[in-house]
């Protein structure tokens, strides 16, 4: 994970409450990032979540069904978006609960990509 002088994420993955995630997203937008929002379905598994993230990031269809294609496509984000982009991943806890191994696989790929990823989950009570 990397952060800028203002403490905003510039690369890597963080898990944050919805409120803190919105603050990070606002900071990224102020610094010229497009912020794309993907939502994990409540019953989401790895493939459903992967497909949602790939669609949100405007990646080729193969990135939604093949992890290697996802990893490769993430290298082209700046070209696809015409500038820097960040991912706000809402409901990430659904994948963590439903498929913990899938969570680790996907977060490893996203964390290695050259984009900020803000994963949100339910707040602790």
Q: What is the fold of 2-120? A: Barnase; Chain D (3.30.370)
Residue 121, pLDDT score: 77
Residues counted in the chain: 125
Cα-only R_g, the chain? 13
Tens digits of per-residue pLDDT, 81-122? 999 999 999 999 999 999 999 999 999 999 999 899 999 976
Q: How many CB atoms neighbour CB 85 within 10 A?
A: 20
pTM score, two decimals?
Answer: 0.87
Share of the chain above pLDDT 90, in %: 73
Residue 8, pLDDT score: 56
Residue 54, pLDDT score: 98
Is 2's pLDDT higher than 60? no
Tens digits of per-residue pLDDT, 38-93? 999 888 899 999 999 999 999 999 999 999 999 999 999 999 999 999 999 999 99
Residue 124 neighbours by CB under 8 Å, 6+ apart = none
Distance of CA 14 to the CA centre of its chain: 9
User: Could you state, in order of their start, the residue ranges of all structural domains in the chain?
Assistant: 2-120
Residue 9, pLDDT score: 60
- pLDDT band at 125; cut points 50, 70, 90: very low
The answer to whether the CB of 120 falls within 8 A of the CB of 18 is yes
């Amino acid at each position: 994970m990397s952060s800028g002088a203002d403490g905003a994420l510039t690369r890597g993955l963080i898990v944050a409450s919805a409120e803190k995630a919105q603050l990070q997203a606002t900071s990224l937008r102020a610094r010229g990032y497009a912020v794309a929002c993907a939502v994990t379905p409540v019953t989401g598994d790895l493939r459903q979540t992967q497909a949602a993230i790939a669609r949100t990031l405007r990646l080729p269809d193969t990135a939604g069904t093949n992890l290697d294609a996802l990893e490769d496509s993430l290298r082209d984000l700046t070209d696809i978006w015409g500038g820097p982009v960040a991912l706000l991943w809402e409901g990430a806890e659904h994948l963590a609960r439903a498929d913990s191994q899938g969570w680790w696989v996907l977060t490893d790929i996203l964390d290695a990509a050259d984009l900020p990823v803000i994963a949100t989950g339910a707040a602790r009570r």
